[in-house]
Every structure is written in structure tokens, then in C-alpha cells.
Amino acid sequence: MRDEAFYFFTSIGNYTGVSAVSLDEFLQKIKDVDIKSLEFHLFREDFEKWISQTLGDGRLAEDIRAIRIQKIVGNSLRDRLYFLVSRRLKELKAGPVR
């Protein structure tokens, strides 16, 4: 059982079969998962909760909160999420000294 995973649903109780256990995997999955799933979880604040509580990344959670407040939907939402998560991953992989 992947207790720490994020499970993508399209609505209450409707699981897509897509899950992610890490930010790397999350980035890959948001590229292709049903757009309805991204909208469903964004407005339930599920992404923010998982990223802050399970991954412990308050900063990225805050960035995602901002796109929720802007009410971005559809492919713009996918693109924005992808941009934020990939940018954060780059930062985390770079380390403090460049």
C-alpha cells in the first residue's frame, strides 16, 4: 500500500488509477492525467495539503494556493501546475551552491 501517495480522482469516489509517491512522479503524472482530476483536486485544496503535509514543501504548496485563488482551469491549469512543480524540482535538485 502506498500510504504516502497522491491518488488522482476526477470526482468524489472516482479514481483514475493514477498515483504519485514523489514530486518527480507527480510532475510526470500531471502531464497526462485527466484535466477534470486537476481541477477537482485543486479546488478541494488536495494538492496543497499533500505537498505541505506529506512532502513537507510549504513553499510549493503556497504557489499552488495562488493558482487556486486565481481560479485557473483547463489546460492553463495543467501548464501552470507543470511549470511550478518543475521549477521547484529544479531548485531542489540544484542545491544551495551553484
Partner 1 sequence: MDDLDRQILRLLQENAKQTYSEIGAKLDVAHSTVYDRIQKMEHGGFITKYEAMVDAERMGIPLITAQMIITADPKETEGIAERMAKFGQVLEVATSFSEELVIIAKVVAKDQSELHSFIARSIAPLPGVLRIRTAIVTRKYKEERFSVGQEKKLSKTKE
In the complex, least distance from residue 92 CB atom to partner 1, rounded to whole angstroms? 26
In the complex, least distance from residue 11 CB atom to partner 1, rounded to whole angstroms? 8
Closest CB to partner 1 among 26 and 63?
26
Per CB under 8 A, 90 contacts partner 1: no
Given candidates 19, 28, 54, 86, which one binds partner 1 under the rule CB under 8 A? 19
Closest CB to partner 1 among 50 and 80?
50
Closest CB to partner 1 among 1 and 94?
1
Q: Please classify residue 20 by burial: count the beta carbons closer than 10 Å to its beta carbon, then call 0-12 exposed, 13-18 middle and 19+ buried.
A: buried
**Which one, of 10, 13, 4, lies nearest residue 55 by Cα?**
4
Closest CB to partner 1 among 44 and 59?
44
Write out the residues near partner 1 by the rule CB under 8 A: 1-3, 5, 7, 9, 12-17, 19
